[in-house]
Amino acid sequence: MSDDRVTHDTMGEIRVPAGAAYGAHTARAIENFPISGLRFPRPFIRALGLIKKAAARVNGRHGRLPTELAAAIEAVAQKVVEGAYDDQFVVDIFQTGSGTSTNMNANEVIGFLAGAHPNDHVNLGQSSNDVIPSAMHIAAAEEAHHRLLPAARHLRVSFERKAHEFHGVIKIGRTHLQDAVPMRLGQEFSGYSRQVEAACERIESALPGIHELALGGTAVGTGLNAAPEFASDAIAEIAGETGIPFREARNHFEAQAARDAACFLSGALRVYAVALTKIANDLRWLGSGPRCGIGELRLPAVQPGSSIMPGKVNPVIAESVLMACAQVIGYDSAVAWCAAAGNFELNVMMPIMAYDLLASIELLANSSRNLQVKLVDQLNADRARAEGFVEQSLAMVTALVPVIGYEKAADLAREAWKSSRTIRQVAREKSGLAEEQIESLLDPRRQVGD
Rounded to whole angstroms, how far apart are CA atoms 256 and 43? 21
Strand partners, 183: 171
Q: Which among 44, 175, 151 has a CA at the least distance from the CA of 102?
A: 44
Buried b (16+ CB within 10 A) or exposed e, 339-352: beebeebbbebbbb
Rounded to whole angstroms, how far apart are CA atoms 285 and 143? 32
Q: Which long-range contacts (CB under 8 A, 24 or more apart) does 377-383 make?
A: 377/158, 378/300, 379/162, 379/283, 379/287, 379/297, 379/298, 379/299, 379/300, 380/297, 380/298, 381/165, 381/166, 381/169, 381/185, 381/296, 381/297, 381/298, 382/295, 382/296, 382/297, 382/298, 383/168, 383/169
Asked if residues 173 and 180 have their Cβ atoms less than 8 Å apart, the reply is: yes
Rounded to whole angstroms, how far apart are CA atoms 404 and 400? 6
DSSP tally for the chain: helices H, then strands E? 19, 6
Q: How many CB atoms lie within 10 A of CB 418?
A: 9
Catalytic residue among 2, 176, 307, 420: 176
Q: Which among 330, 318, 324, 333 has a CA at the least distance from the CA of 375?
A: 318
176 labelled catalytic: yes
145 labelled catalytic: no
Element (H, E) at 323: helix 316-339
DSSP secondary structure, 363-406, as one string: HHHHHHHHHHHHTGGG-EE-HHHHHHHHHH-GGGGGGGHHHH-H
Rounded to whole angstroms, how far apart are CA atoms 259 and 338? 8
Catalytic residue among 8, 164, 205, 306: 306
Contacts of 288 (CB under 8 A, 6+ apart): 294, 295, 315
Element (H, E) at 249: none
DSSP secondary structure, 98-118, as one string: T-HHHHHHHHHHHHHHHT--I
Q: Is 325 exposed, middle or buried (0-12, 13-18, 19+ CB in 10 A)?
A: buried
The residues carrying an active-site annotation are 176, 306
